[in-house]
Amino acid sequence: MAGKKGNIANSDFLNRVAKNTRGAAKSVSETLDKVDSIKSQEDDGKKKIEYIDIFKMEGAPAEWNRYPLLRDSQPDRYFELKLSIYEKGIEDPLVLWRQPAGTYMVLAGHNRKDVCAEIIRECGDEDDFHEDRFRFVPCIVYQENEIDERKAREIIDDSNLYRDFSKLPEMIKQQIVVDRLETYKKRRYTKGERIDQLMKDFGLKKSAIYDALALNENVIKPLQKLFFDGKIKKKTVMRFTFFPKDTQEWIFDKFREQITDAKVNALKKNMTRDEIEQVFCTEGKETKRLTLEIPTEREEEFRELFQKWLAGIR
């Protein structure tokens, strides 16, 4: 079907791309019939499906929902979702939390809501387009006083377990691991059960989980950010766990412009601040790690001589 300006209409394009377009146009009466049939079912203890206007929905606060939208992070998957919704409608209900002003906070389904709004925006002025099919979508609704913020955030996290964890930004991965472990703790999982559940949920190795915890607990935020921003590697940032946080703060404040993979990987456990400073102040020179065996009683003597030697070549 041609659009008003002679181009292929958006709905026609979506129909052509989709492999199977059967049932792509349901009337409002069919939707209302479906609602009536659901409401007439005997209450089995589960929440009933309600059809809610997407234009009455608002996204959860950014600090609650750290998962990037598919449109921004995985546009190919977003387009697949768009085709599926255009062809079949919303198959999995959104999860909403009713707010005091009569709006609904989206706890699960941000991408589905955005897809529906986009389809309406792109196809709304075309002939035979049934807007209500994408405007009033199936939802599970929690009433205002039925849950609290903690439960709402748990629902957001639980509903995003299916996401491709490997494609999330490093900072998001870190926050998710820490938050999920705290959630499992509140659910009275043992420490071992928490680790096992996280491995199962996200396909993580145990070592990756322990690294995430060590990074969160033992490395100061500015140094973590260097890793999250891609300025240093994971192996590099984990090396800062060798040092107490006050030493880490001193390193960052004094040498922030010189913090590189090569410099940090030259650091060793138990280095003094003088020794650390020598590492960062050795400019443009390749380094090689050597292991020496010296008599225990002459360790301090060796350190003094070595520091004098380093000072002489600077």
Least confident residue range of 38-52, 95-109, 185-199, 233-247: 38-52
**Angle ∠(233,239,244) on CA atoms, nearest 5:** 135
Residues in the chain: 314
CA 98 to chain centre: 24
Identify whether the C-beta of residue 209 lies closer than 8 Å to the C-beta of residue 177: yes
d(CA 108, CA 112): 9
Nearest CA-CA partner of 82 in 111, 59, 108, 125? 111
In the predicted model, what is the mean pLDDT of residues 132-160? 88
* % of residues, the chain, pLDDT over 90: 33
Whether 241 shows a pLDDT value over 60: the answer reads: yes
To the question of pTM greater than 0.75 for the whole model, the response is no
12-32 pLDDT, tens digit each: 656 655 444 334 333 333 433
pLDDT tens digits for range 164-184: 667 777 887 888 888 888 888
Provide DSSP, 31-53.
HHHHHHHHHHSPP-SSPPEEEEE
Q: Are β-strands 49-53 and 136-142 bridged in parallel, bridged antiparallel, or unpaired? A: antiparallel
pLDDT of residue 205: 87
94-98 β-sheet, strand order: 49-53, 136-142, 94-98, 104-108, 57-59
Alpha-carbon span 259 to 121, nearest angstrom: 48
Looking at residue 66, its pLDDT comes to: 73
242-256 confidence digits (pLDDT tens): 999 999 999 999 998
- Find the mean pLDDT for residues 262-288: 82
The predicted model gives 194-202 an average pLDDT of 85
Instruction: Please state the rounded mean pLDDT for residues 201-206.
Output: 83
Mean pLDDT over the full length of the chain: 80
Whether pLDDT at 98 is above 90: yes
